[in-house]
Amino acid sequence: MDLGTIIGLGAGFIVVVFGIIVGGGSINMFISIPSVLITIVGSFSALMVSNPLSRILGIMGYFTHVIKMPNWEEERIISQLVSFSEKARREGLLALEDDLEEVDEEFLRKGIQLVVDGTDPEIIKNILYNELNQLQARHSIGIKIFDDWGKLAPAFGMIGTLIGLITMLSNLEDKSAIGSGMSTALITTLYGAFLANLVFIPVRNKLMDRDNGESLVKEIIIEGILSIQSGDNPRILEEKLLSFLPPARREAVRQEAAAE
């Protein structure tokens, strides 16, 4: 579970509530069911207009993806690729088939199988990069949904404010109600800005981060598989793959390889 996401959402909400209380306000002043309906339901309805229903029904899956903490295990995959390279140099590419059942990563298993089958390197490269591109295309759907929602929520907040202002201005003869009417009218703008900046835009950014992390792992695998097929020296392969990682994490892989 990604504690950073949960703590961030909770802390953001608490800070806003604390600011209201310290500023002398009352929580009840900021609760408005019509504003909730206009901001959340209105912006969600706009999403339904601009996206197929199947994508909208998958929104909770994107939230789940954000809350879960992925472990791409780049170090383990690099060590595994180096091990495959060493075995291929000693026993030949066909010997790698014996280890396919032990490979958990489906993308890696598919690549090794293509190598064992003697597939042309250019075809392997095209197949694997095509799968990577399709993965990124699927990820971009969720990213776009929350990007759109982050733009629509403040817009519907403004719509709610305009509705409130129109209602207030139609009753100007009651001057005592102008202040409270203006306050109510601005709540929807607050809701829209709050949801966009604490929830929708951060979720979009986290989905982009997840996409970058998974894409990096796939690129490491592609580079490793092509190097294994071309017969690169395992030490050269290791250094090539380690270049994908930050310096601090490279040392962990080297130590693991030395221990073996």
The pLDDT tens digits for 176-215 are: 666 666 777 788 999 999 999 999 999 999 999 999 999 9
State mean pLDDT over 121-150. Answer: 95
The secondary structure of residue 96, as a DSSP letter, is G
Instruction: Compute CA distances 115 → 10, 12, 121, whole Å.
Output: 48, 50, 8
Confidence at 2, pLDDT banded by 50, 70, 90: confident
Give the rounded percent of residues in the chain with a pLDDT score beyond 70: 93
| Mean pLDDT across 143-163 | 93
Q: Which helix (H) or strand (E) holds 101?
A: none
**How much is the mean pLDDT over the chain?**
88
pLDDT, position 223: 94
Mean pLDDT of 206-229: 94
Instruction: For residue 156, name the pLDDT band (cuts at 50, 70, 90).
Output: very high
End-to-end CA distance of the chain: 31
pLDDT of res. 260: 54
Domain segments of the chain as ranges: 32-260
Whole-model pTM over 0.75: yes
Tell me what pLDDT residue 11 has.
94
**Rounded mean pLDDT, 155-173:** 84
Q: Whole-angstrom Cα distance, residue 36 to residue 110?
A: 48
Query: What mean pLDDT is predicted for residues 91-102?
Result: 87
pLDDT over 60 (residue 105): yes
One DSSP character per residue, 144-195 reads HHHHHHHHHHHHHHHHHHHHHHHHHHTTTT-GGGHHHHHHHHHHHHHHHHHH
Helix (H, G, I), strand (E, B) or coil at 223: helix
Q: Is the predicted pLDDT of residue 259 greater than 60, yes or no? A: no
Handedness of CA 207, 208, 213, 216 (dihedral sign): positive
CB 150 within 8 A of CB 204: yes
Q: Where are the alpha helices (DSSP H) in the chain?
A: 3-22, 33-36, 42-50, 53-56, 59-67, 74-91, 106-116, 121-169, 178-195, 201-230, 234-242, 247-259
Residue 48 pLDDT level (bands cut at 50, 70, 90): very high
Q: What is the pLDDT of residue 176?
A: 63
Between 2 and 188, whose confidence is greater?
188
Residue type, 183: S
pLDDT tens string 7-40:
999 999 999 989 888 887 788 888 888 888 999 9
Pairwise CA distance, residues 61 & 122, whole Å: 35
What is the Cα gyration radius of the chain?
Answer: 26
- Output the CA–CA distances (angstroms, integers) from residue 258 to 33, 38, 78, 103, 255, in the order listed: 62, 61, 14, 22, 5
* Average of per-residue pLDDT across 131-141: 95
Q: Report pLDDT for 257.
A: 56
